[in-house]
A and B are shown apart, each in its own frame.
Chain A
Amino acid sequence: MGLVQRVIEVSGIPTVALSMIPDLTRALATAAAPDTYVELTFEWPESPAEARNACRDLPEPPIVVLLKKKPWLLERLYSGRVPDAKVAG
């Protein structure tokens, strides 16, 4: 998201990145410099563990399936060496 945000900002359009629309205006109006953080009053209702467990019944993303089959590829993901599309998988 940040990579896209950077390009939009460079094109002359001010941006904010956030997840709760009521806070949009305060964040936009308050940010007076790059890399500004605006502390908002919103508190996520679930704990991180509850949030993660809430989607346990969904299919796992393909990269997770792959890494479970070939765990040695985790090092590659960790190091950022993304395989070429033609040889991946």
Chain B
Amino acid sequence: MAIDLYRFLDFASRQVMKAWASRQESVAVPFTPLTKPLRECTVALVSTAGVACNDDRPFDQEGERRNPWWGDPTFRVIPLGTTEKDVRLYDMHIDPRFGESDLDVVLPMRRLTELHSDGVIGPPAARHYSIMGYILEPTELVEKTAPAIAECMCAERVDAAALFPA
């Protein structure tokens, strides 16, 4: 199937991303199949929109302004039931207005709850997660942040995760 992953990017961004992708080593893709029916699975969400609750530490936009090669590699927990009134989006590479007027655009917890009500999935996880989408140097993201998110999910007995690139 031919898929144009770069369809919505401008020319320069497309060229840069294609160049980065071409340098990626071809390695085995980890795959974990579902171990029970989806209607029994607790599902958690991960968004790259840089969502942080108003009462939580903001993502570091100032650090990125000082050093545009850097992106905040940390993550934030977004409790189930959080609405657009309770958060701000900090990713400076997306239009935050859509997510800040309807959080489901980037972190669809309400849709998840509806799917549970309809009997399609099990209960939504109590906690969901957000990271920044722009991180050129991913060492800390891969070695610290992602394992920490996975650990939280395992501790909460999450059965499946849906990731939403912003």
Known: A3-B138, A3-B146, A7-B142. A25 touches B159 (CB 8 A): no
Residues of B within 8 Å of A, CB-based: how many? 65
Task: Note all chain A residues with C-beta closer than 8 A to B111.
Answer: 21-22
Q: How far is the CA of A28 from the CA of B146 in the complex (A)?
A: 20
A60 → chain B closest CB, angstroms: 9
Q: Are B65 and A62 in contact (CB under 8 A)?
A: yes
Asked whether B57 is an interface residue with its Cβ less than 8 Å from the other chain, the reply is no
Asked if B154 contacts A13 (CB within 8 A), the reply is yes
Judge whether B1 and A16 touch: CB under 8 Å. Answer: no
- Partner of B38 from the list A28, A44, A61 (CB cut-off 8 Å) is A28
Chain A residues with a Cβ under 8 A of chain B:
1, 3-19, 21-22, 24-25, 28-29, 32-35, 37, 39, 44, 48, 51-52, 54-55, 58-59, 61-63, 65-66, 74, 77-80, 82-83, 85, 88-89
Contacts beyond the supplied A4-B142, A19-B165, A21-B115: 4 A-B pairs with Cβ under 8 Å: A3-B142, A4-B145, A15-B160, A24-B162
Which B residues fall within an 8 A CB radius of A? 1, 3, 7-10, 12, 15-16, 19-20, 23, 28-34, 38, 43, 46, 48, 64-70, 92-95, 104, 108, 111-112, 115, 120-121, 131, 133-134, 136-138, 141-142, 145-147, 149-151, 153-154, 158-165
